[in-house]
Structure 1
Amino acid sequence: MSGVSLRHARVRYGPLEALHGVTLAAPARALTVLLGRNGSGRTTALRALAGTVPLSGGAVVWDGTDVTRTPAYERARRGLCLVPERQAVFGSLTVHENLELAARDYAFALTAYPQLRPLLPRRAGTLSGGEQRMLALSRALLAHARVVLVDEPAQGMSPAVAARTYELLGALDACVVVAEQRLPPGLRERPDVLVYELRRGAVVFGGQAGELARRGPGPSG
């Protein structure tokens, strides 16, 4: 199956194991959500896919090829884009400079997030949390990546901008994987959205978003 996947993945931070043999698959040209509270392993799973944390066991597979030993920079060169929860923009550069690094013609970013236009001369480090998320997501949208991994894409955004963000991510012709604490309201009945719920480093649910919604709120919301 094309896309990216973890197969029996284990990740250790010193003596602590953060992922306990996690298996999940995010298909190409679709939106996959990794759900879980802080400490559940969702961010670690995202970073394992990106190659920014090494596996202590198992494998990372991309389009049928084992990339477990492929370094993060090489995965990025091949078309994988990671937007971390923190430090996702160049704080000392202006909004204009951040966007120009992603693409010389960044008009699409200002169409996607018109709120950024008056902020173009501002240094990115002076923006609010939600504004920085818009900028970080804009850079990802401009990258035309094959795989887009985003940790808490809508953090700090208003409900309207958060909904717009998920519209943009859902429209990408890419394998999109996001990590969230709760399933965004606009995704709860979408049959094309795949959800994995993690708890204490293990997958406790995998299926369509609608299936999770019918189960009712669990520990992850």
Structure 2
Amino acid sequence: MTTVSLRHARVRYGPVEALHGVTLAAPGPGLTLLLGRNGSGRTTALRALAGAVPLSGGAVVWDGTDVTHVPAYERARRGMCLVPERQAVFGSLTVRENLDLVAPGHDAALEAYPELRPLLDRRAGTLSGGEQRMLALSRALLARARVVLIDEPAQGMAPAVAARTYEVLAGLRACVVIAEQRLPPALRDRQALVYELRRGTVVFAGEAGELRRYLG
């Protein structure tokens, strides 16, 4: 078991406060979804958990330990993996080289995304958006992290590949936190903890089924 949480977290970008005292907890193994429109704070919350943006107030707690001032690279070393929405792969390297940076053997990643096999010698920067997402997620799978933070994992993917992606993420023995604009259809019947954010505050917290009733 592992849990990452924000406690009364505040994040500022210059004069603008993006998170207004957000409190949420993501237990694992399992899925936690951060939902909200652009500007809601969902991506900022994800990046705050990873240490990619500093807090101006509040705390980040991981398994009962305050890691607010632990840098992102140290959180990564301890088993936290962030897959951002953009610039999640090394565009100048080949697909094979991107995977080799994480682990020399990439059979597990190619089992999840066999579409990457014929692309191993292509430079990542020449891939389509969906192919780059598959590569970024493959890197995360190879990392075998205890906490996986992903911003819009299925962006640009075909529906069948997107459904497979959510299936893979739901099966990980890790604390998986996903930021999305809305609840993905593939996860509507999954057991998942859901937080909906609006304008930097949490307006709903509960199970996925409760969210459907909340939205009517």
The alignment's TM-score, normalised by the length of structure 2, stands at 0.98
CA distance in 2, matches of 1:2, 1:114: 30
CA distance in 2, matches of 1:29, 1:114: 25
Q: CA deviation at 1:102?
A: 1.2
Q: Deviations over 1:158-216 (max 9, x none)?
A: 111111001111111110001000110021122x2010000000000000001111223
CA distance in 2, matches of 1:189, 1:129: 27
1:8 corresponds in structure 2 to 8
Amino acid at match of 1:141: L
CA distance in 2, matches of 1:166, 1:128: 19
Q: Residue 189 of structure 1 contacts residue 213 of structure 1 at CA under 8 Å; is this kept in 2?
A: no
Confirm whether residue 126 of structure 1 aligns to residue 101 of structure 2. Answer: no
CA distance in 1, matches of 2:21, 2:7: 7
2:204 corresponds in structure 1 to 205
CA distance in 1, matches of 2:2, 2:19: 23
**3-state secondary structure, aligned to 2:52:** coil
**3-state secondary structure, aligned to 2:101:** helix
Q: Residue 2 of structure 2 contacts residue 146 of structure 2 at CA under 8 Å; is this kept in 1?
A: no
Confirm whether residue 137 of structure 1 aligns to residue 157 of structure 2. Answer: no
2:20 corresponds in structure 1 to 20
Q: CA deviation at 1:76?
A: 0.5
Q: Residue 36 of structure 1 contacts residue 181 of structure 1 at CA under 8 Å; is this kept in 2?
A: yes
**3-state secondary structure, aligned to 1:153:** coil
**3-state secondary structure, aligned to 2:70:** coil
> What is the aligned-residue identity percentage?
81
1:77 corresponds in structure 2 to 77
**3-state secondary structure, aligned to 1:26:** strand
2:174 corresponds in structure 1 to 174
**3-state secondary structure, aligned to 1:130:** helix
Amino acid at match of 2:200: G
Amino acid at match of 1:210: G
The runs of at least 4 consecutive aligned structure 1 residues that moved more than 4 Å come to none
Give 5+ residue unaligned stretches, structure 2.
none
Report matched runs for 1:21-170 at 5 Å: 21-170=21-170
Judging changes above 3 Å, is the alpha-carbon distance between structure 1 residues 116 and 140 closer, same or farther for their aligned structure 2 residues? same
CA distance in 2, matches of 1:207, 1:145: 25
CA distance in 2, matches of 1:204, 1:216: 12
2:193 corresponds in structure 1 to 194
**3-state secondary structure, aligned to 1:176:** strand
Q: Residue 151 of structure 2 contacts residue 178 of structure 2 at CA under 8 Å; is this kept in 1?
A: yes
Amino acid at match of 2:129: G
Amino acid at match of 1:194: L
Q: Residue 11 of structure 1 contacts residue 19 of structure 1 at CA under 8 Å; is this kept in 2?
A: yes
Aligned length in residues: 216
Q: CA deviation at 1:135?
A: 0.2
Amino acid at match of 2:87: Q
The alignment's TM-score, normalised by the length of structure 1, stands at 0.96
CA distance in 1, matches of 2:16, 2:180: 22
